[in-house]
Amino acid sequence: MPRTDSQLLPHLFRTEFGKITSVLAKHFHLRHIEVAEDIASETFLEAAETWPYHGVPENPTAWLYAVAKNKARNALKRISLFEEKIKSELNAPTDISAWDEIDLSADGIQDSQLRMLFALSHPALPPESQVALCLRILCGFGIDEIASAFLTNKETINKRLVRAREKLRTEKLTLDLPDESALVSRLDNVLTTLYLLFSEGYYSETRSALVDEDLCEEAIRLAKILVEVKSTNLPQVHALLALMYFQSSRLKARIGSDGDVVLYHHQDESLWNREYISLGGYHLNLASTGNRLTKYHLEASIAFWHTVREDTKEKWESILQLYNRLLQLEYSPIAALNRTYALSKANGLEEAIAEAQKLQLTTNRYYHSLLGELHGTIDTRKALAYFSEALRLSKSPAEKTSIEKKIDALQRRPAAIKR
Amino acid sequence: MDEYALIMRHEDGMKVASPEQLQIWMKQTMDWIGGIAAQNKFVSGTGLPFENARVVDSRKMVTNGPFGDIKETIGGLIVVRAASVEEAVEFAKGCPVLQGDGNTVEVRKIAKDDGIH
């Protein structure tokens, strides 16, 4: 895509910040991760200050790498002087010496990002910190952007990042990859982090569509690093990628002309991203080997069925059985509610209503929306009661609007007027 | 919250069912378990196929079993979470195995590893 000069730098920031930081972190170790981040930031600042006067260099990326390398060497000199004199014993165990050549080749970058991904997904870090650090270090998100991604303020994010960096130090985390025996279980942590990152983008309701798309794209980009490396090119990673491609294929169709959320049944199918749907299929195929069935396999298969618009018996029966298995593997309220919706399509409304009432999710607004939906055609009065409760529990304006629309439609029905 | 095993017993495991009937049972069982899992009450479970079943007796004699003299056979078991035996019994009542005459579901509390049980 051709970009104007003013668009170039923000674009490069997004794509290169994480690469530079990851590579430099190998030399500064995780306990000095903020130095690596600072050098990457200063590099872009220098570009912003000099490019307007001297023109954009012929190879902007190479320019950034060269400047970052220089700055890193200077910083390393200062730090090593300090550490030699004061605390020489502090050298954390790692297979990379600070003075090795700073490797910003494609392989070097990939290796660094992979190590960083594993380090930031360490179970010692709380999940929300993992995602925040990932966004900051690997995706080059600014504090503002992370704050809007988490629907919170800058201060909260700053505190979270400070605490997370402290944890990196106190837990003495390194950028060493886990050995082969621990790799698969640690990979599960990495997948969880990427899944959280993706969900943060996909399931939010009150953010700008742009941020959502960025978060989903970043999760996909990082997952792709995993399948490019032999030791982590495993079926469960392909399953997660398939899930992310299938889901993101509908991102554009989800946003209405006035910024409101367009529900699945009302989406304009021509806005579905066909390329993503076929990429999802490609990765689901690659996921279908080995003998470990993960929740990503099940969720990807469910997501696949949602790319089939037509309501067939086979579709809903398949989705129901996938949810049945998913819930056995890992319970979540949203899966329980979706399973009940699939049940209504496969086995009928009556059975689904009976099962829904057993779910005991009375404080969950989606629970009331689901029951409202299920009662819609059989008992308008009850449907209205459920939707009113959902409205009371909902927080975001977009969600309130969509529930109000449903209530409005129900009240217009002749059956409702009679009562 | 305690854990209970729901043990499904068949009156006659050898009774041959049609493929269509088997498919319906399969679906009903999967929906039954899915319904328990949707309440976050499912712990674990497994079917116990009759194929290749053996019985070893006190003389170490091995027979193809558990059929023959024994009328009842165990077809599978699941473990659920329940606040009381009554709640576990409610889950058991939904078990599709009970559609067969003479079939039963036995509800047994799982012993806790607490040094008392």
Q: Is B34's CB within 8 Å of A358's CB?
A: no
Residue B41: predicted pLDDT: 97
Q: Buried b vs exposed e over B88-100: b needs ≥16 C-beta within 10 Å? A: beebbebbbbeeb
Residue to mutate among A319, A321, A328, with most B CBs inside 10 A, is: A328
Q: Is residue B115 part of a domain?
A: no
The Cβ-side half-sphere exposure at A363, using a 13 Å CA radius, reads 0
Report the alpha-carbon distance of residue A215 to residue A279 in Å, rounded. 18
**pLDDT of A86 higher than 70:** no
Report the C-alpha gap between A25 and A22 in whole angstroms.
5
The pLDDT of residue B92 is 97
pLDDT at A365 over 70: yes
Chain A: residue nearest B27 by CA?
A321
B37 touches chain A (CB under 8 A): yes
**Architecture in CATH of A1-89+98-104:** Orthogonal Bundle (1.10)
Looking at residues A271-277, what average pLDDT do you find? Answer: 94
Question: What's the rounded Cα separation, in Å, for the pair A342 and A323?
Answer: 8
Q: Is B12 an interface residue toward A (CB < 8 Å)?
A: no
**Residue A335 near chain B (CB below 8 Å):** yes
CA distances from B96 to A83, A151, A161, A340, B105 (A): 70, 46, 52, 19, 10
- Whether residue A217 is predicted with pLDDT greater than 50 in this model: the reply is yes
* Interface contact A358-B31, CB threshold 8 A: no
Phi-psi region of A172 (alpha: psi -120 to 50; beta: other; left: phi over 0): left
Domain boundaries, chain A: 1-89+98-104, 106-231, 362-419
Report the C-alpha gap between A206 and A108 in whole angstroms.
Answer: 38
State residue A43's pLDDT score: 95
Phi, psi angle pair for A172, to nearest 5°: 50, 45
Say which residue, A281 or A396, is predicted with more confidence: A281
Q: Are A244 and A219 in contact (CB under 8 A)?
A: yes
Query: What was the pLDDT predicted at B70?
Result: 60
Per residue in A297-317, pLDDT tens?
999 999 999 999 888 999 999
How far apart (Å, rounded) are the C-alpha atoms in residues A404 and A411? Answer: 10
Percent of chain B whose predicted confidence (pLDDT) is above 90:
48
- Judged by average pLDDT, the poorest of A21-35, A250-264, B32-46 is A250-264
- Nearest Cβ partner for B38 among A317, A321, A339: A339
| Cα separation, A136 vs A147, whole angstroms | 11
Tell me the two tokens of residue A51.
């490019």
Q: Is residue B114 part of a domain?
A: no
Instruction: Give yes or no for residue A321 having a pLDDT over 50.
Output: yes
Is A133 an 8 Å CB contact of chain B?
Answer: no
Q: Are A216 and A248 spatial neighbours (Cβ–Cβ below 8 Å)?
A: yes
Q: What is the pLDDT of residue B73?
A: 79
- Between CA A258 and CA A206 the distance in angstroms is 13
Give the domain extent around B40: 2-109
- The pLDDT confidence band at residue A146, using thresholds 50, 70 and 90, is confident
Mean pLDDT of A121-148: 85
Looking at per-residue pLDDT, the higher value among A386 and A100 belongs to A386
Euclidean distance between CA atoms A161 and B35, whole angstroms: 41
| ipTM for the predicted complex | 0.84
**Max Cα distance, chain A (Å):** 88
Indicate the pTM of the whole model: 0.83
Q: What is the pLDDT of residue A399?
A: 79
Inter-chain residue contact A324 with B39, CB threshold 8 Å: no
Confidence bin at A415 (pLDDT 50/70/90): low
| CATH code for the domain of B24 | 3.30.70.1060
- What's the pLDDT score for residue A94? 44
Domain tally, chain B: 1
Q: How many CB pairs under 8 A join A and B?
A: 46
Q: Is the pLDDT of residue A398 over 70?
A: yes
In a domain, B44, yes or no: yes
**Residue percentage of chain A with pLDDT more than 70:** 90
Query: Three-state DSSP class for A100?
Result: coil
Query: Is A356 within 8 Å of chain B by CB?
Result: no
Which residues from A are below 8 Å from B35, CB to CB? 355, 358
* B-chain residues near A331 (CB < 8 A): 37-38, 40, 42
Least confident stretch, A81-95, A97-111, B14-28, B92-106: A81-95
Which region among A225-229, A246-250, A270-274, B13-17 has the lowest average model confidence (pLDDT)?
B13-17
Q: Which residues of B touch A335 (CB under 8 A)?
A: 38
Q: Do A320 and B34 touch (CB under 8 A)?
A: yes
Chain A residues whose CB is inside 8 A of the B27 CB are: 317, 321
Residue B17 lies in a domain: yes
Q: Evaluate if residue A418 carries a pLDDT over 50.
A: no
pLDDT in tens, A184-213: 888 998 998 899 889 877 876 555 666 677
